[in-house]
Structure formats: C-alpha cells, structure tokens
Structure 1
Amino acid sequence: MRASDADRDRVADALREAYAEGRLDVDEHNERLERAYQAKTLGDLTPLLSDLPQRHLTATPAPMGGAPHPQASMPPDYAPGSKISAIFAEQKRGGRWLVPAQTTAAAVFGSITIDLREAVLTQREIVIIANAVFGSIQIKVPPGVVVHDEGTAVFGSRTGSDRGPVGDVPLGPNAPVVIVRGVALFGEVSVKYPKASKLGKFLGL
C-alpha cells in the first residue's frame, strides 16, 4: 500500500521522540528520518520502528479500514516556542535539544549561537526569529537542511542563507527547512554550514 504524507510524518515524529530519549544516535536518527521521507509504501516505513519500544510503534500507519493510530506524543520537555536572549552577554544552545516550531533569539550587544547539528526538529519546517542589535547570532545547521532568509539588515549583515550546504547530497522535496526572520540592526546574523570534505573539494562538489 502506498504511504501518504501523514504516514511519513507520523513515523518521523516517532523517530524524533526516540532520538530525544537517547534510543537512537544522531547518525541513526538522520539515516532513518531520510528513509522515512523517501518511503513509497507502508512496508518501507515499518522497519524504521521495528526495534523501538512498543509505544513508538503507535506512530505506524493504520491498515486500510482500521481505526487510526494516535499521533506519537512529544517528550515532556517539548514546548511550542522558546526564547534565547543575550544582553551584554553570550548564550549558546546546542547538543541534543528539542527545537520547537518557532524560536526567538535576541542579541543586544551580545552573541548567540544556535547549534542544530545534533538537535531534534519537532517540525519539518521551523522558524528562527533572529534579532541582532549591535550583536551577533550564528546558526549552525547539519547536512541536508534547507535555509531560507526572510529577514532584514539595517546597517548590519545577514550571510549564509538561501543555499544548500557545500558538498552536500542533493536535497529532496521533504528535506527539513529552517526559515530565518528578524532584523540585523548594526549587527550580524549568519548561517554556518558543514565544511566540504577534502574528497568533495577534490571532486568539485
């Protein structure tokens, strides 16, 4: 049976929950998430959750004519939004953490680093509102993430958005998306991508 977008999203939610609990490492999570969004049939999705606890299997698609399974719940520390502020200070958010649908960052005469390389995105598309006033905000993204800049710079700079990571594999239609908004007023908002490997540079990727 062909898989729907809702089927793929349910499995992706279960994988994010398993990663947040430490049941999958970052490589396993990324590999399974990519396979989930590329899945064509329900049979392609089932193996992705087969070695996880039974409650994670509630995210698998329901059979035709059967009652729908409940959506996988997010971990208890999930919040619909978060705020990061640095006023004459430095703030860093990194490691394994849950990225809500929207994050607001404000750096006033300070600096903020938002590291998404090991983070769990609670949505395929997230928004980061980055306001830098005489300060700087740097966003670090992992391979395979699309970044769109919808912000404004006034006597400031915004760099690194609206392109794919250097040397990265071609991005699929279901690749995670990070939308960056906000204002750089006498400040800087930048996106940092993974460095291309030596082989990638040699091949011109």
Structure 2
Amino acid sequence: MPARRKPPAILASDAERDHALVVLREAAAEGRLTLEEFASRSGLALEARTRNDLVGVTADLPAPAAQVTTPPHELYAVFTSVRRAGRWRVGQVIAAYAIMGSVHLDLRQAVIESPVLVIHAYALLGNVRILVPEGVSVEMEGFGGEARLSETAMIRPGAPVVRIAAYSFFGTVQVRDRPGVFTQLWKRISG
C-alpha cells in the first residue's frame, strides 16, 4: 500500500492576514497580550504564508465579537430644520432627508462608533450640511453635493472614514471640516 501524501498547505490571503491582525489588536486592547507579544505575533501574521501559519498566531485567543448592526439614524426635515450637534452617539449609517427644509449634522463632538460611517444625504429643494471633524477621511459620491475640506488638515491614523452618498435636486449637500467664516466670526463676537 503506497504512503498517503499530505495535501498541500493552502496559502493565506491578505484578507486572512488582516483578520488575524484584527484579532491580535482586540486581544491587546483587552489586555490579553502584552505589547511585546502583540508586536511579535503581528510580525508572524504579516509573514504567514499558509493558513496553518495564521492559526498558530491566534489559536489561544477568542474570535472578535460580532459587529452588531444598528438601524440607520434617520433625520427628516420637511418644511422645517433639524439639527444634531454636540456629543451624541453615531452608529454605522445616517440617512438625512431635507425636503424644502434643512438638516445640519455636526459630527465634530459626536462619538462615531464604527470605523466607517455612511451618510445618505437627500436634498429636494432643501439643504443638508455636514460638519465633519478635522482629520477624518471623507469619500463623497452621488450628484449635487459639494465638499470643502481643509487641505492643511492631516488625516489622523485610526480616524473613521465618512462615506457620503449625496443626492440633490434643486438643493444642496455641503460637507465641511470647519464652520463657515460667518459662523466663526459670530462665535468670536458673541464670546
């Protein structure tokens, strides 16, 4: 009887290496790994050629908690204005509808709980204004939207990504990373 050949090892993908790094980051944040262990295992994960190599790096760690998807936070401004500002929790998705009205979203002090925040902004004869914190990455698509972001602001490492899908019909969708000149002047005058 001929000897059985071992099946070849399956090569690890970039996505599998990234997943191992997520598991390691969470374990370090929870205190399961020291900084040295995290650095050592991260290096092994990045150098892993096969899936078996990756299993050895994370075998004694729990899998990351499943992400709980929250329903979108919806804001409607129909013949009125709606404003969200100050300290508030933001999930993964915001939907803002301005129909002959205005929606103002100020995210500068908001607690953004997801690494990627998706905002669907709809303006029908209305305005949606979004003020993002300096240093976040903003990606915008759709039509009728305009983004004015500071070119001197550096994107902070680990900062969330804000993806905006803007749809405007005889209205405006504006994204800025700092208040307008008149707002800044008014705050200085009024103290």
State how 1:3-42 maps to structure 2 within 5 Å. 4-8=21-25, 42=38
Cα contact 2:96–2:121 (8 A) shared by 1: yes
1:121: Cα distance to partner?
Answer: 1.5
- Which structure would you say has the larger Rg? 2
1:160 corresponding residue in structure 2: 147
Q: 1:99 aligns with which of 90, 95, 109?
A: 90
Q: 1:169 aligns with which of 142, 146, 154?
A: 154
Q: For residue 66 of structure 1, give the secondary structure of its aligned residue in structure 2.
A: coil
1:193 corresponding residue in structure 2: 177
1:66: Cα distance to partner?
Answer: 2.6
Cα contact 1:131–1:184 (8 A) shared by 2: yes
- Please give the alpha-carbon distance, in whole angstroms, between the structure 2 residues aligned to 1:94 and 1:80: 20
Q: For residue 86 of structure 2, give the secondary structure of its aligned residue in structure 1.
A: coil
1:102: Cα distance to partner?
Answer: 1.1
2:141 corresponding residue in structure 1: 150
Letter in 2 for 1:160: A
- Please give the alpha-carbon distance, in whole angstroms, between the structure 2 residues aligned to 1:124 and 1:40: 25
Letter in 2 for 1:71: A
1:152: Cα distance to partner?
Answer: 1.3
Q: 2:62 aligns with which of 43, 65, 68?
A: 68
- Please give the alpha-carbon distance, in whole angstroms, between the structure 2 residues aligned to 1:11 and 1:144: 25
1:122: Cα distance to partner?
Answer: 2.0
2:76 corresponding residue in structure 1: 85
1:116 and 2:107 are equivalent in the alignment: yes
2:130 corresponding residue in structure 1: 139
1:133: Cα distance to partner?
Answer: 0.6
1:202 corresponding residue in structure 2: none
- Please give the alpha-carbon distance, in whole angstroms, between the structure 2 residues aligned to 1:135 and 1:166: 28
Q: 1:184 aligns with which of 168, 177, 191?
A: 168
1:49-70 deviations in Å (ceiling 9; x for gaps) = xxxxxxxxxxxxxx95434166
2:189 corresponding residue in structure 1: none
* Length-normalised TM-score, structure 1: 0.56
1:18 corresponding residue in structure 2: none
1:29-50 deviations in Å (ceiling 9; x for gaps) = xxxxxxxxxx99737xxxxxxx
1:80: Cα distance to partner?
Answer: 2.9
- Please give the alpha-carbon distance, in whole angstroms, between the structure 2 residues aligned to 1:175 and 1:95: 18
Letter in 2 for 1:5: V
Distance 1:170 1:79, change over 3 A: closer
- Please give the alpha-carbon distance, in whole angstroms, between the structure 1 residues aligned to 2:110 and 2:28: 17
Q: For residue 95 of structure 1, give the secondary structure of its aligned residue in structure 2.
A: coil
Cα contact 1:135–1:188 (8 A) shared by 2: yes
Distance 1:123 1:40, change over 3 A: farther
| Percent identity (aligned) | 32
RMSD: 3.2
Where structure 2 has 5 or more consecutive residues not aligned to the other structure, the ranges are 1-19, 40-56, 180-191
